[in-house]
Amino acid sequence: MEPDLVLHGSASFSSPYVFSAFVALEEKRLPYELKLLSLADREHERPEYRDASITGRVPALRHGDFWLAESSAIAEYLEEVFPPPAHPRLYPADPRERARVRMVQALVRSDFLPVRTERTTHVLFQGEPAGPLSPEAAASAARLYRIAGALLPDPSRHLASIFTPADADLSLLLMRLVVTGEQVPPALAAWARRVWTRPSIRAWLAHTRFRG
């Protein structure tokens, strides 16, 4: 019996959080329905969605009569409910690797705010222009390069022994800078571009204006 999964996302295909949940579902190779909401029209605030999803945010996953919001929670739920080996693994088996993956997921959502503010995902997914980085954002980008370099001592590999949601999330943050011509360390830029050849990410990009 096929799982009754519905992912609610934004019609603009510009949310980094919907991107992360979308990639997780694609990596799990689970059949699901994608329902798009217009945030500009405030469809996420309509009672039928707001009340069912609890938060009124996107993404939200509906699995039967169960609703769950927040992209990292969605990825962990999918891993637990559709576990390996019956389904592809999203998180490493090793507890230290798994903890590191979760650390990176939390880091890219809570840190580097100047970069995320001045290099929104609209520059990636909608082709919007971007101006020069402010000194604050340039310092945040330099910190990002240092941390990403420490996490990826061998940029030919993933963050862990397998591809994980953290690879998608970190590569997205780096690609905001790569496509706008910032001086991203070549090894990190090459790593991010390599991650973006993955079929799950290409499936998302097919809905956007990304041409990188």
How many helices, marked H, and strands, marked E, lie in the chain?
10, 4
pLDDT at residue 135, as a whole number: 98
Pinpoint the residues of the chain covered by CATH 1.20.1050.10: 95-205
pTM for this one?
0.94
Q: Sorting pLDDT into bands at 50, 70 and 90, what band is 41?
A: confident
Rounded CA-CA distance 203/206 in Å is: 5
Pinpoint the residues of the chain covered by CATH 3.40.30.10: 5-81
Rounded CA-CA distance 17/108 in Å is: 11
Above 60 in pLDDT, residue 1? no
pLDDT at residue 2, as a whole number: 58
CA torsion through residues 103, 105, 110, 112, sign: positive
CATH superfamily of 5-81: Glutaredoxin (3.40.30.10)
106-163 pLDDT tens trace: 999 999 999 999 999 999 999 889 999 999 999 999 999 999 999 999 999 999 999 9
Contact between residue 74 and residue 61 where contact means Cβ atoms under 8 Å apart:
yes
Class of domain 95-205: mainly alpha
